[in-house]
Amino acid sequence: MAPEFERIAELRRRSHRPGGSVRLGIGDDAAILRPEPGLETVVTTDLLVEGVHFDLAWSTPELLGRKALAVSLSDVAAMGAVPRAAFMSLAVPRHLDDAFVEAFFAGVLQLADRFGITLAGGDLSSSPGPLVVDSVVVGEVEPGRALCRSGACPGDLIFVSGTLGSAAAGLRQLRSGMTLDTATTGMDLDAIRSHVAPAPRVELGRALLLTSIASAAIDVSDGFSSDLAHICTESGIGAVVDAALLPTHFTLDDALHGGEQYELIFSASPAFVPRIDLVAHQLKIDITRVGRFEGPAGEMWLERDGRRERLEPRGWEHFK
């Protein structure tokens, strides 16, 4: 491995972006951010641990770097904010070499460039155990307008972007021994890509805020059922989901409970359906109505085949 300070100097050179919200980035004891006047700051952090969140046998280091940033960008997207700066820290086992670290940060910087974000800092450390990645993203949003989990109202409809369950199906394929290189069908390939290279819905989150469409939002990180439950809890409301409307090419269980999808769930008034259709057309993404908010706080129901049954949150939960 190259010495720590040589690696930091190289990252400083590659991540420099003149102007913007980062006045001082890599190279000092701390970064200095210059927020736009009149905006609020949004901060999110995600920890990825080898053997828990990823397996190095399943992904290239470039894709891992990209995913590490994508999962934090997804949180910022769910708030309707604009991402401005990223901080990426690595605890690297000794068996991983310079080429791995170089490729990892190539993936980070590729996605950062896609959204005009500055890699403003982080940390590098050796690790006696697994690879550990800590991703932090800072964004900005108009005062009092951030999309939170607490805004859903009785009568609001439930919408979700993209499709559900593909990341869970991709994980299942990876665990069976399939890889990006050995996938034999387009569906398998898309599922694996969904797991190893998620696409954060930054543009959608921003559009939902600027058009005043969404009353509440969250990203699908732990699973649709669990993340919808968070909106219900914070908004003090219940939800009814129509199983037949869930956008998926895989099993109902994958769609309801599979995690790491990084699509957006949001609530909106039925009056905004035309606006939602317009946003979907402009961004060239699918947005599907899958249910409605109603009933006692925290109660969720699934309608299928003419029957209604309790929908329990069964997505991913650490320490469960």
Question: How high is the pLDDT of residue 9?
Answer: 67
Residue 269's φ and ψ, nearest 5 degrees, are: -65, 145
Q: Between the CA of residue 143 and those of 114, 138, 203, what are the distances in Å? A: 25, 15, 19
Confidence at residue 237, expressed as pLDDT on a 0 to 100 scale: 98
Residue where the block lists tokens 């219900």:
232
272-306 tens-digit pLDDT: 999 999 999 999 999 999 999 999 998 999 999 98
Q: Say what the pLDDT of residue 320 is.
A: 66
| Residue numbers in the chain where pLDDT is lower than 70 | 1-19, 316, 318-320
Looking at residue 23, its pLDDT comes to 81
3-state percent breakdown (helix, strand, coil) of the chain, nearest 5: 35, 25, 40
Give the start-end residues of each E strand in the chain: 22-24, 32-33, 40-49, 82-93, 118-127, 132-141, 157-161, 214-219, 239-242, 264-268, 287-293, 300-304, 307-310
Which domains are assigned to the chain? 4-141 (3.30.1330.10), 157-310 (3.90.650.10)
Taking the C-alpha atoms of residue 8 and residue 43, their distance in angstroms, rounded to an integer, is 23
> How many whole angstroms separate alpha carbon 230 and alpha carbon 241?
15
DSSP character at residue 95? T
Asked if 149 contacts 123 with a C-beta cutoff of 8 angstroms, the reply is no
